[in-house]
Structure 1
Amino acid sequence: MAAVKIKDQPFYIQATAVLFGLVLLVYALSVLADILIPLGFAAFLAILLNPLATKLQFLKIPKVVAIILAMLIAILAVAGVFYFLSTQIIQFGDSLPMLQKKFGEITISLKDWIQSSFGITVARQNEMVQEALHNSQSMVGKTLGGVLGTLSIIFLLPVYVFFMMLYKPLILNFLYEVFAEENSKKVSEVLMETKGAIQSYIVGLLIEMVIVAAMNSAALLLLGVKYGLLIGCIGAILNLIPYLGGIIAIALPVLMATVTKDGYSTQLGVIIAYIVIQFIDNNILVPRIVSSKVQINALMSIVVVLLGNQLWGLSGMFLSIPFVAVIKIVFDRIDDLKPWGKLLGDNIPTRHLGDMMRNRGKRKAVLPSTEQ
């Protein structure tokens, strides 16, 4: 009895099979999140650190020692960033009572303005705030859970990264052997492009983060915003979340300027400065620094970031873009999946197939009359 292929079935059967497969995949990803999230971060970090470990091995350093040295260099770099931020946070903590007092005064003035303008009493406003806080408890709990999950990943990452770099030949041999021999060339191309895409993406993000932090901090210091260095660096870190982080980052300096400054000129200056910085970032830094061999269009980037947040929280937002970049590399190498690869990419065709087919039909209809 001949096997029946899914693609030979009616559309509704194909769609049902695809949806059923997607539901099973999402369910598995959700259930195995505690295992897959650390492995995802570890895989990307292992690919990023592999060139450094390879260079150390060329210096006649044993493989295990080279891997440990590469990881120590990365840990020291991250520790330096955290030390810098912690010193700024300590200074921020010293002024926290004053900021709380100022924020309380602004809140009272705002409530009085709302009461005089809209007739909503202060007591009713307090009730509305309490209701909003009560309804947002589950969201806050989910956010805290995501943060705690991210912290737990940090303790597993060094172990996973070390073993992934140590067993790299074993993993690569498995990927080559699991596919048919005639597909070995495609497997090699996918692995090479994946490595290049992830390395260029992560290195580009780090360079972009440093430049954006410098621009944010310089703008805030020039505008006289208190703790501009700390807020500028936090804004650069939030900017790592594609498209959404930059919007969230604007609220921090605006809030700080509102609490510490009189009037609204500083807030306006902050908004204008951040709009200019975002323009430079999106039109100069990202295309020239962050861009890799694989480009994901803006629409799909926003969708996958939101889906990643829904599936894996904060970790999913960071992993979504490089994960989809890897998927696009695979799609571009499989004939039946190439349309999906094009959908994810940012190459916009000048004409769509519908217009081409209609024009072709018009030409066929005109040809008989011209030949007569």
Structure 2
Amino acid sequence: MLEIFEKWYRRYLFEEEAILLLVLLFIGVVLLMTIGDILAPLLAAIVLAYLMQGVSTQLQNHGVPKWLGVSLSYLLFIGVFFGVTLGLLPLAWRQLMGLASELPAMLDRGRQLLNILPQQYPEIFTVEQINELVGMAQAEAAKLGQFIVTRSLASITSVFTVMVYMILIPILVFFFLRDRELILGWLGGFLPDNRPLLRRIWIEMNLQFANYARGKVIEIIIVGAVSYFAFTWMGLNYAALLGLLVGLSVIIPYIGAVIVTLPVALVGFFQWGFTGEFYTLCVVYLIIQGLDGNVLVPLLFSEAVNLHPVAIILAILFFGGIWGMWGVFFAIPLATLIKAIIYAWPSRDDNLPVQSPLPEMESVKE
């Protein structure tokens, strides 16, 4: 056993940089699992600053001075940030509370509709099955109502937390935008001077994160806005809440669209029943999902992530479990990071002399 481990160690951990990368990955996972909630404002600010850095870079590429590009991108961030936190989220929360208050009436109507099934299909459905199903739905609705009431009673703590976030995040984003080179230089001082493996992975993942994060944010905004205006135009109840859910559903590939279809269909059904408006809603929703998957995604993500669907789902489950919503959001680029590390990891055959694992990176200057 020790001999097998020794051969594996000599083959994959023979370089100092490989060991350093392994330690950094271990520290990152431990921090996310232990104090990820405490570091949430810092992590959110880093992600948002990274997104706005792309806007600043584009402005500078068009001849705008650096200080002006940073200022304009920060002003854009401030407008969007406070518009969402002070406008959209409170509206969606009020609509969620309104939906929760109507759940008992919806369940009663659903019971009336389901009671017809045992009469028409007695060989498939029984009255006991229908009562059990309705009872389970009522229990879940009671849990949801209790959760909303509990969150409402704890609104003082929630408001205080939101105020802290609304103060800390804009301040951190400003300094991350203004002092980006200084901060990266300071962090690079803790790493070895000769780091071709880390540099190669950083260059590849910087491109991957940039394409994915910025494209995903644009996709959320477009899909959410189009859904909201479509639902409002049709007169659908809780249009802001449902539009927000449809927009956020694009974060989770394959699964998000399936999950959010249920509340959209249920709200439309209980509002209109099996009428023309309900079928129109279904058609409009399917058109939005179709245009998102077949038109918007190919335009935004020019560089497709070459990952198997099983790998994507496993990445969503793992990173979502240890990092919450941020882990779900960055599951695909983090999975791509792991794939890049696996392919770039230095290795050697025990029968061959030690060679540089990345000869093409030798020409890269510090």
TM-score, normalization by structure 1:
0.64
* Shift in alpha-carbon separation, 1:155–1:322, aligned structure 2, 3 A: farther
Deviation for aligned residue 1:334: 2.9
CA distance in 2, matches of 1:99, 1:138: 14
Which residue of structure 1 lines up, in the alignment, with residue 50 of structure 2? 47
Do residues 162 (structure 1) and 161 (structure 2) align? no
User: Contact (CA 8 Å) 1:39, 1:160: kept in 2 or not?
Assistant: yes
Contact (CA 8 Å) 1:99, 1:260: kept in 2 or not?
Answer: no
In structure 1, the residue matched to 2:354 is none
SS at match of 1:34: coil
Match for residue 185 of structure 2 among 167, 173, 194: 173
What amino acid sits opposite 2:88 in the alignment? L
Count of matched residue pairs: 322
Structure 1 residues 291 and 39, CA gap change in structure 2 (3 angstroms): farther
User: What is the rounded CA distance, in whole Å, between the counterparts of 2:259 and 2:236 in structure 1?
Assistant: 17
Matching of residue 191 in structure 1 with residue 206 in structure 2: no
Aligned to 1:316: 327
RCO higher in structure (CA 8 A, sep ≥6): 2
Deviation at 1:114, TM superposition (A): 6.5
Moved more, 68-77 or 265-274: 265-274
- Give distance in 2, aligned partners of 1:150 and 1:297: 39
Indicate the residue corresponding to 2:7 in structure 1.
8
Deviation at 1:306, TM superposition (A): 1.6
Question: Secondary structure of 2:195's match?
Answer: helix
Deviations 1:210-266 (A, max 9, x none): 432355346546766345465334312332333322222212321221121032654
Q: Where does structure 1 lack aligned partners over 5 or more consecutive residues?
A: 15-20, 338-372
How much has 1:8 moved relative to structure 2? 0.6
CA contact (8 A) 2:215 2:301 kept: yes
The alpha carbon displacement at 1:6 in A equals 4.5
Gap change, CA 1:39 and 1:118, over 3 Å in 2: same
Question: Which residue does 1:280 correspond to in 2?
Answer: 291
Identity of aligned residues (%): 23
Correspondence for 1:120 among 104, 119, 128 = 128
TM alignment of 1:208-247, pairs within 5 A: 208-213=219-224, 215-217=226-228, 220=231, 225-228=236-239, 231-247=242-258
Q: 1:274 to 1:127 in 2, by over 3 A?
A: closer
Instruction: Give the alignment of 1:29-108 within 5 angstroms.
Output: 29-53=32-56, 55=59, 67=70, 70-81=73-84, 85=88, 89=92, 103=106, 105-108=108-111
CA distance in 2, matches of 1:9, 1:194: 27
Q: Give how far 1:109 is off.
A: 1.1
2: distance between equivalents of 1:83 and 1:124? 42
Distance 1:258 1:78, change over 3 A: same
Residues 239, 249 of structure 1: 8 Å contact kept: no
Opposite residue 205 of structure 2, the aligned amino acid is T
- Residue 301 of structure 2 aligns to which amino acid in structure 1? V
Is the CA contact 1:198–1:322 (under 8 Å) kept in the aligned structure 2? yes
Q: 2:261 aligns with which of 247, 250, 274?
A: 250
Change (3 A) 1:331 1:228: same
Higher share in helix: 1
2:360 alignment counterpart: none
**Is the 2:115–2:127 Cα contact (8 Å) retained in structure 1?**
no
User: Residue in 2 aligned with 1:289?
Assistant: 300
- 1:46-66 CA distances to partner (integer Å, 9 max, x unpaired)? 22222445657976675xx97
Which region of structure 1 is more displaced relative to structure 2, 304-313 or 153-162?
Answer: 153-162
Give the Cα–Cα distance (whole angstroms) in 2 for the partners of residues 132 and 229 of structure 1: 23
Partner AA of 2:204 in structure 1: E
Q: 2:128 is aligned with what amino acid?
A: I
